[in-house]
Amino acid sequence: MIVDQKILLTEEEIPKQWYNIQADMPEPLDPMLHPETHEPTQLPPFLFSSELNRQEFSKERWIDIPEEIRDVYRIWRPSPLYRATRLEKALKTPAKIYYKWEGVSPPGSHKPNTAIAQAYYNMKEGIERLTTETGAGQWGSSLAFATKLFDLECMVYMVRVSYQQKPYRKSLMHIWGAEVVPSPSNRTQTGQKLLEKDPDSPGSLGVAISEAVEDAATNENSHYTLGSVLNHVVLHQTIMGLEAKQQFAKIDLYPDAIYGCVGGGSNFAGAAFPFLGDKLRGERKDLDVVACEPAACPTLTKGLYEYDFGDSVGLAPIVKMYTLGHDFIPPKIHAGGLRYHGDSPLLSRLTKDGYIRAEAYHQTDIFDAAMLFAHTEGFVIAPETAHAVKGVIDEAKRCKETGEEKTIFFLNSGHGHFDLSSYDAYFEGKLVDYEYPAELVKRALENLPKVG
């Protein structure tokens, strides 16, 4: 029997409001603290738009999406919900597997869902220029795309080693009009000092954040932006889960299990939170919500739930979250993305409280999963996304053993067109699996900020 592979929505069905899970949390989040005074604080107002700051701490369940943002979403939204029939067949599983495919956006991932919103609000508040950091370049290219559509300037500090190794992400940012410099750069005092010490410094995400923040703080009409972790980023990403709920409703289904990959947590949260809200309100008590992370950066499975700095250098506000310590640096051998030391405070809290469980996977296994996906469903996915696929495949195999006809949903967060060097490393047998040592977690404890 031939079934539809895609469940589509019309543009009119693009949600008109984002879902704010803070309205349904059993208890409010622990406050965000100032990095020096340790007093409750907001996001620095000289770095963030006031509307984004309002959204960050809002307890309203629904937050209106301005029509100008919905109009840009129409370029690629609503994204299709796919039934993975060929993958099911290959696994001989009685489970039904569905995925939401965000690779259809111009930058090729879920990131523009929030980049568009952040560019819009900053534009409305008179900001003319946005800065950010980027590692592999997925966030930087999404912000470049968004700023071009709202006629803002865009300045991206790209970790030097990525700038050299991933030249095509840089090209993509150039096409959308962004200025991209390798970090450390001579554009900031932070960068200048580092280059004086070491002119060949490979850079790091921590340094790039410091440069982007310094740039925004010292240049007129400039603000800083972040592509994950923060509550307002998670909020904007709920557009995905809200669409998926409508799509499942059209086929009279509701998922039994939801899988997503976790780096900072925004793609996972964006897909899962609109369903998880039902669980929080007691309507879907059995919903299984699974965060998939790399064994090389096992924040949720081996980290600590503590107050820590959001950045690597101790300038950002302190938030309570799962963390491996803000000076954690993932091993160089790790090709699979998802390298952040912490996680979204919302995701962390809900994991701590038992509403989400986490699994960690090795990189050779996640590439095996990505290959099976490409061989059956066709699409070549990002290594980050492959963590979710690995989780789904394991679950589908369990269903084969038990005979359960579960409905499994996962977020397919983006394509791997700019990650093929990682696939090459996999083919060439160069990927080494790395188990994060328990002693390192202990040592990280010593560097956490002493709060309260």
Contacts with a second copy, residue ranges (CB under 8 A): 2, 4-6, 8, 10-12, 67, 71, 74-76, 86, 104, 106, 108, 145, 148-149, 167-168, 171-172, 174-177, 371, 374-375, 377-380, 417-418, 420-421, 423-424, 427
Residue pair 335/438 in contact (Cβ under 8 Å)? The answer is no
Minimum distance, C-beta of residue 13 to a second copy, in the bound complex (Å): 11
Residue number with CB closer to a second copy (74 or 124): 74
Beta bridge partners of 261: 292
Q: How far is the CB of 103 from a second copy (least distance, A)?
A: 9
Q: Three-state DSSP class for 357? A: strand
Distance CA(290)–CA(278), nearest Å, equals 16
- 85 or 301, CB closer to a second copy? 85
CB of 356 to a second copy, least distance (A): 31
- The two three-digit tokens of residue 338, written as one number: 């998802």
Q: CB nearer to a second copy: give 98 or 273.
A: 98
Q: What is the largest CA-CA distance in the chain?
A: 67
* Pairing assessment for the beta strands 96-101 and 81-83 based on DSSP bridges: antiparallel
Full DSSP string of 381-443:
B-HHHHHHHHHHHHHHHHHHHHT---EEEEEE-BB-TT-HHHHHHHHTT-----PPPHHHHHH
Least CB distance from residue 17 to a second copy, whole Å? Answer: 17
**Which two structure tokens, joined as six digits, stand for 277?**
């809200």
Nearer to a second copy, 340 or 426 (CB): 426
Instruction: Identify whether the C-beta of residue 57 lies closer than 8 Å to the C-beta of residue 231.
Output: yes
User: By C-beta, is 31 or 106 nearer to a second copy?
Assistant: 106
Nearest to 320 by CA among 354, 289, 352: 352
Q: Is the dihedral of CA 200, 218, 162, 441 positive or negative?
A: positive
Tokens of 368: 């095996």
Per this entry, what is the length of the chain? 452
Q: Cα(335)–Cα(139) distance, rounded to whole angstroms?
A: 17
- Shortest distance, CB of residue 72 to a second copy, whole angstroms? 8
Residue 133 bridge partners (DSSP): 157
Q: How far is the CB of 10 from a second copy (least distance, A)?
A: 7
Q: Which is nearer to a second copy, 24 or 368 (CB)?
A: 368
Nearer to a second copy, 83 or 334 (CB): 83
Nearer to a second copy, 332 or 375 (CB): 375
